[in-house]
Chains A and B, each alone.
Chain A
Amino acid sequence: MAHRVSPWALEAGQELLQRLPADERLILPALQAVQQHFGYVPKEAVAQVAVTLNVSVADVHGVLTYYHELRTTPPAPITVAVCVAEACQASGSRELVAHLETEIAPLGGRSADGVVDLVEVFCLGNCALGPAALINERLVGRLTATTLESALSDARVAL
């Protein structure tokens, strides 16, 4: 399943914000809804969230920049989120990351063909079967360079 990215559209933005349930008319859920729809939070959406929720643009910007997962630029179709926390370190994630950095991109970067983002994540809850990664929403465990490559090519095929 690829990340869906769609260009900013005022009407779509307005509609999804109006559709938020009453108890989710809050900054974080609003930004999450925007990101789910557009794939990221376009800068035009910040003002719109502020107006819809009757809060300041600064408040929205503060929330947007606080959370690691909220993003202001479109993601690549595939995100490989590789666990770099202790349990996976104990199972060889440092070596795996070093390999991925030569094969894909530096952590936080995008592959040369623009298809894969490589990001770090702190724990995926698969700590007995590390190293682990989340490829879009698919959790993979007991990773080696080879098994990660094969999971990644599955994801490429699914695009």
Chain B
Amino acid sequence: MTTTVYVPIDSAATSVGANAVALAISAEAKRRNIDIRLVRNGSRGLLWLEPLVEVVTVDGRVGYGPIAEADVTALFDAQFLTGAENKFSVGIVEEIPWLADQQRITFARVGVIDPLDINDYEAHGGLKGLRTAIALGPSKTVEEVLASGLRGRGGAGFPAGIKWRTVLETESAQKYVCCNADEGDSGTFADRMLMEGDPFTLIEGMAIAGIAGGATKGLIYIRSEYPDAIATMRAALLIARGCGLLGDDVLGSGKAFDISVRVGAGSYVCGEETAMLESLEGKRGMVRAKPPIPALHGLFGEPTIVNNVLTLGTVPMILAQGAAAYQALGADRSRGTQVFQLAGNIARGGIVERAFGISLKELVESYGSGTRTGRPVRSVQVGGPLGAYFPASALDVAMDYEALLAAGGMLGHGGIVVFDDLVDMAQQARFAMEFCAKESCGKCTPCRVGSVRGTEVIDKITNNVDRTENLELLNDLCDLMADGSLCAMGGLTPIPVLSALRQFPEDFQR
């Protein structure tokens, strides 16, 4: 019987040698005259184990990792094709506690299936959501999404169903669904992994949004820093058109919907929805003033559903399993699950999908197992470059939209970046201003000029030039940026700056 071997093709896995491992396994099997079926799956998200090789056995998929190219002969010698235990073993992958404890909904298929095999996708519950949406019709589909409590996973947390209802109720000859895949926040990679590991769920989610909102055209705006995700999405779109998931008659519904991929050009602020729309129109990625909201006046002035990859990628599961099942998970007003991303100096980094409400401490300490360097955790930044720095003593915060806001932070796109005790927090605060200065679109003065002044003022403070006055000036500048900026770029840059200053004042005093 042919044994099936999985080696991830996810770019995190290939960045540490998975392609070489896959080639070596094929070559070694051939040399030994063993017939294997090699499948390139997405990553399970246990990134510290990558490259993680899995073998299908009667007991389940047995894992070995991390495997280097040079380990492959030894792996064969140690009978990995039978699932035998050896020094590379991590056991049955789905029974590894790190993974078994998770509540995978958005990421249910990532790492499990062959990303570009539509039959594998369907065998694992794919297309059920779209068929349900077609049967329900637009209004009832919108009601389901509303009832699920799904909020925008890009960072703003706006209820997805409300956007969809607005678009549905707005008359227009041409409406759009725009998927924001400009995942620029450092510490986040879930959009990339979903696109590389389960691209059809995003396509299905966008088709559902199209049917629900009455849009026939979808666009995915993917950042150019993700060449593999771009290639996977393009390949998946061709397959989707070929099997009638996209086109003039989506799964026999009589409704048309198609999607194209657009590639960014290295601008962080294009992750802001209105800047993304400008960029999709081919212009400079300048933020628009809101109102009008994109649901009424979006791409080319037409009603547009704008959602993040994770938001749209979760919709098929919600429709397939019912809104109530999703709504039952979570805490307070944050319903369902969040795909947390453990990053930075962390021993066990990767994807942890859990219901909202899990504590930051559990994510960093239990899942993350502390730092990769083995030094004490000193600081944790939550929610990307515009998120707050928490000291190691204050990790007892519940991870949901409102609780994090109350703790002076924000959830953002769910990225968690861990720093050890060698971090210089004044340097991190300065970097937040520098980043804002480099990436500001330039439309509003508080962001464009404030960020440059911010780096200068921080330099004066750390060099002990008129310290008291400059500290006051920095606080004043941050207030102005927070209150006067047009979008989150300038508006939230004060969060990392002030959280660093308030929690780690000693670093600003040399």
Contact = CB atoms under 8 A, between A and B. Distances in A.
B47 A129 contact: yes
Nearest to A26: B282
Interface in B203-258: 224-229
Contacts of A130: 343-344
B439 A127 contact: no
Interface stretch (B53-61, B315-323, B415-423): B415-423
B456 interface: no
Interface stretch (A8-16, A66-74, A98-106): A66-74
B48 A128 contact: yes
Interface residues of B, number: 60
Nearest to A122: B268
A28 B229 CA distance: 20
B343 to A, nearest CB: 3
A86 B344 contact: yes
Given A29-B282, A87-B187, A122-B439, A127 B265 contact: no
A127 B285 contact: no
Contact of A32 (B263, B284, B345, B372): B263
Nearest to A140: B15
Interface in B271-304: 279, 281-285
B418 A123 contact: no
Contacts of A63: 282-284
Interface in A75-115: 81, 83, 85-91
Interface in A125-146: 125-130, 132, 134, 137, 139-142
B218 to A, nearest CB: 12
Contacts of B346: 128
Given A86-B428, A139-B228, A126 B12 contact: yes
B225 A125 contact: yes
B345 A124 contact: no
B345 A90 contact: yes
Contact of B417 (A28, A83, A127): A127
A121 interface: yes
A121 B342 contact: no
Contact of A124 (B48, B225, B265, B428): B225
A123 B372 CA distance: 19
Contacts of B226: 124-125
A86 B385 contact: yes
Contact of A68 (B188, B228, B267): B267
B178 to A, nearest CB: 13
Contacts of A88: 186
B40 to A, nearest CB: 15
A101 to B, nearest CB: 17
A17 interface: no
Nearest to B379: A90
A67 B279 CA distance: 10
Q: Say which size band chain A's interface belongs to.
A: 35 or more
Nearest to A65: B284
A129 B50 contact: yes
B372 A121 contact: no
B192 A125 contact: yes
A23 B267 CA distance: 22
Contacts of A139: 11-12, 14-15, 227-228
A155 interface: no
Interface in A22-57: 23-24, 26-30, 32
A30 B47 contact: no
A27 B224 CA distance: 17
Which of B186, B228, B284 gathers most chain A CB within 10 Å? Answer: B186
Given A66-B285, A67-B266, A122-B439, A128 B350 contact: yes
Interface string B322-349: 0000000000000000000111111001
A63 to B, nearest CB: 6
B267 A128 contact: no
B282 A127 contact: no
A127 B187 contact: yes
B50 A32 contact: no
A85 B282 contact: no
A132 B15 contact: yes
B265 A129 contact: no
A134 B14 CA distance: 12
A67 B265 contact: yes
B16 A129 contact: yes
Nearest to A128: B349
Nearest to A86: B186
B185 interface: yes
A70 B343 contact: no
Given A69-B224, A125-B183, A32 B265 contact: yes
B15 A141 contact: yes
Interface in B182-199: 183-189, 191-193
Given A28-B265, A123-B185, 18 more contacts: A28-B283, A30-B282, A32-B265, A81-B225, A86-B385, A89-B428, A90-B344, A90-B418, A90-B420, A91-B372, A122-B435, A126-B15, A127-B417, A128-B12, A128-B350, A129-B50, A139-B14, A141-B15
24 contacts: A28-B279, A32-B263, A63-B282, A68-B265, A69-B265, A83-B186, A86-B381, A86-B385, A86-B428, A87-B344, A122-B184, A122-B268, A123-B184, A125-B225, A126-B12, A126-B189, A127-B341, A128-B47, A128-B350, A129-B15, A129-B349, A130-B344, A134-B227, A139-B14
Interface of A: 23-24, 26-30, 32, 59, 62-63, 66-70, 81, 83, 85-91, 121-130, 132, 134, 137, 139-142
Interface of B: 11-12, 14-16, 47-48, 50, 183-189, 191-193, 224-229, 260, 262-268, 279, 281-285, 341-346, 349-350, 372, 381, 385, 415, 417-420, 423, 428, 431, 435, 438-439
8 tightest CB-CB pairs across the interface, nearest first? A26-B282, A128-B349, A85-B186, A90-B344, A127-B343, A141-B15, A67-B265, A68-B266
